[in-house]
Amino acid sequence: MSKYEQTYGTDWETLSVNQAMSRAYALGVAASIGESHPDELEAIHNEMDSAYERSVVDLAFEEGKNEGREYGGGGNNGDELWSSLVDDEPVSIDAEGMRTGSRSGLPEAVDRTDALDRPTPDENEAVDLPSFLEKE
């Protein structure tokens, strides 16, 4: 049984975006030590509802691989690498949805952006006239 399977298991039925990112990051770390789980990554990828969420999962996977390589992935220190990057860093989600734990949070590259959020239906300021064009 691989380190990923011991830590996370593969018997999930649904995942939130945060859970998917956490698992994808761990899969990236596992890939950096020579443990490949393409079916699990594809299943996580398919669980996401939007292209944005799928791209964030892909970025989290790549970030895990990169951090694993930077740490010195593969070789004899696979247990140490996994322990340092995945096991020793408990991640939880606080009430506002921000990651907490011993890590400083998600890397900026996979942090959620509000640029793609749609305005609320009651807001119409995007189609209002600019103030300098309004009659006084």
How far apart (Å, rounded) are the C-alpha atoms in residues 37 and 42? Answer: 9
Q: State how far the Cα of 3 lies from the Cα of 96, in Å rounded to an integer.
A: 30
For residue 99, give the nearest of 124, 128, 63, 50 by alpha carbon.
63
Could you list the pLDDT tens digit for every one of the 136 residues in the chain?
A: 788 888 888 888 999 988 999 899 999 988 988 888 989 999 999 999 889 989 999 999 999 888 888 876 445 467 778 877 887 554 444 445 444 444 445 556 666 666 667 766 666 666 777 788 888 7
How far apart (Å, rounded) are the C-alpha atoms in residues 91 and 102?
7
pTM: 0.63
- Contact status, residue 59 vs residue 22, Cβ threshold 8 Å: no
Query: Which residues touch 7 (CB under 8 Å, ≥6 apart)?
Result: 26, 86, 87
pLDDT value at residue 58: 92
Q: Please report the pLDDT score of residue 43 as a whole number.
A: 93
